[in-house]
Amino acid sequence: MDSTFDGDGRVTTNFAGSSEEVLALAIEADGKLVVAGDTSTGTELDFALARYNPDGSLDSTFDSDGRVTTNFPGNSAEASALAIQADGKLVVAGDTDTGTDFNFALTRYNSDGSLDSTFGSSGRVTTDFAGSFDVALALAIQADGKLVAAGGAIIGDGLDFALARYQGSDPSELQVTIDIKPGGFPNSINPKSRGVTPVAILTTATFNATTVKPSTVRFGATGTEAAPAKSALEDVDRDGDIDMILHFSTQSIGIHCDDTEGILTGETFSGQAISGSDAIRTVCH
């Protein structure tokens, strides 16, 4: 056993349910381990994910305690497969019990453990094949970013192979780091405000924000809404690098009450597509 992994090479994690199990494992580029399975609440099963640091400790940057559970409408949901997209988002596949049948069930999470609101309905997708028993057992990501889930479906009197393909993330789109309302937290936005919302594109070790063409940038609930009213180059995060700061009319960005994320898209001067997102908190009176 590897003694550098939690002292004795073994780790157990409780989700405060009556029982849990892991059915899928993936390793991120930074060496962190992500596992997916299910947890029992006593009355139903929910998707359950945990992310561990290389030393076996739970990663506190993943939903604050290293653990995430996701419920689907219906009685139970079990995760059986896990894949990591090129942009770092996590995709999980399994099945959900609707009360009358079982369907393919997929979820996609941002790297911080929050559900990706751009995927399906609030981060969840379900697929029915023939109104009976459908379960996804494997998941793969194509070179073009599309997701393929595979498993079984009862068709008539027999259990058949079942595959479904979904739109994923374009691997040609470069993920960048943005900061909504730099210097502030929790990035509160009043959708009715007549002011502007500042958004910074940050220069990092792998991306130079000064290469972004401001006229191509859009920001809002889906990343397609508002063009910047103005932009400037400055060291926003005071780390010695030059970043880009853009200001958007708040009433034009399409943010509504209960939205939890703002998305920015655009291109560099060389035509490279970029996108980034940051958490927000809406203030509605």
Where do the domains of the chain lie? 19-166, 174-282
Average pLDDT (83-90) is: 87
Domain covering 19-166 in this structure, CATH number: 2.120.10.10
What pLDDT was estimated at residue 17? 66
Average pLDDT (144-150) is: 90
pTM: 0.62
What pLDDT was estimated at residue 60? 93
What pLDDT was estimated at residue 34? 96
What pLDDT was estimated at residue 138? 96
- State which CATH number among 1.10.10, 1.25.10, 1.10.3470, 2.60.40 fits the domain covering 174-282: 2.60.40
Q: Is a pLDDT exceeding 80 seen at residue 89?
A: yes
Average pLDDT (212-226) is: 91
What pLDDT was estimated at residue 244? 96
* Tokens representing residue 285 in the block: 């009176």
Q: Is a pLDDT exceeding 80 seen at residue 130?
A: no
Average pLDDT (43-65) is: 93
**pLDDT tens readout for residues 221-280:** 888 899 999 999 999 989 899 999 999 998 898 888 888 888 999 998 878 889 998 888
